Amino acid sequence: MVCFPNAKINVGLHILHKRPDGYHAIESGFYPIPLCDVLEILPAEQLSFQQSGIAIPPDGKDNLCLRAYALLKADFDLPPVQLYLHKIIPTGAGLGGGSADAVYTLKSLNILFGLGLNNDQLLAYSTQLGSDCAFFVENQPALATGRGEVLTAMPIPLANQFMVLVYPNVHISTAQAYAAVRPSDDRPSLSDKFALPLAQWKDHLHNDFEAALFPQFPVLAQIKAELYAMGAVYAAMTGSGAALYGIFDQEVDLADHFQAYWCWQGFV
């Protein structure tokens, strides 16, 4: 069985109060984009994992595909499988690639072995793997609250827009990102802002990590400024990673832009 776990972007991101469990409450729009990894799962004589493309840890607690398998194995008599992941979505970029790989592992095992799990049950497993994993069960535009696992279906009008993603050679740990941000609950909800015309998003939809991280990593501010200079209607960081995206009304030529960085472009 072959599937294609896709990335997501954050449209606006508010960091709210710190919760008793140590996590921060957030509010953000989650939107799926057609940048995908490739995951193949086949029945096998023994459990194995192989990987190509962008390097990730091949085993251990950080391998979300194997963690997803182990989670279902604890409740079902799963036979061994061979997992093969071709990694295209950059890691640590705030694009949710690892979370998508984990949830698509759950979905594929559910189909492959006829486990009969519905979306509510898949959601319960997903939330054990990561805060934003729940999004990839339904994989539809949504307002995310809580730790990112409480999802409310929400129209986010990006369909048929052209997107450019840029990921510079900058590593920002989650701990580093949150240490610099200033949480605040005292502001209007993002939910009313998605309906604004795209031309107004620049003034109303913000990612809190930008104010915290742009002074430390000027290249991020430079990339955002260049996206706007190229004609982006809206540009922002996605998540707490170092990737930025620009939304355009039409396809753009990247020939003279971002040559030193990883880039992706396509209609969303």
Same domain, 133 and 233: no
The pLDDT value given to residue 58: 61
Kindly report the CATH number assigned to the domain that includes residue 263.
3.30.70.890
Same domain, 214 and 253: yes
Structure confidence by residue, pLDDT tens digits, 1-50: 999 999 999 999 999 988 898 888 999 999 999 999 999 999 999 999 99
The pLDDT value given to residue 57: 65
Q: Which of 101, 126, 153 is the last residue of a domain?
A: 153
Domain with 47 in it: 2-153
- Count up the domains in the chain and report the number: 2
Which stretches of the chain score pLDDT less than 50?
none
| Sequence letter at residue 107 | K
Q: Is the pTM of this model over 0.85?
A: yes
The pLDDT value given to residue 89: 96
Same domain, 260 and 238: yes
**Residue-by-residue DSSP string for the chain:** -EE-PEEEEEEEEEEEEEPTTSPEEEEEEEEEEEEE-EEEEEE-SS-EEEEEES---SSSTT-HHHHHHHHHHTTS-PPPEEEEEEE-SPTTSSS-HHHHHHHHHHHHHHHHTT----HHHHHHHHTTT-TTTTHHHH-S-EEEETTTTEEEE-----TT-EEEEEE-S----HHHHHHH------S--GGGTTTS-HHHHHHH--BHHHHHHTTT-HHHHHHHHHHHHTT-SEEEE-TTSS-EEEEESS----TTS-TTSEEEEEE-
Same domain, 142 and 13: yes
Residues classed as catalytic: 8, 132
What the block records as the tokens of 187 is 């502001």
The pLDDT value given to residue 60: 58
Same domain, 214 and 118: no
Q: Which of 153, 181, 215 is the last residue of a domain?
A: 153
Same domain, 149 and 16: yes
Q: Which of 94, 120, 153 is the last residue of a domain?
A: 153
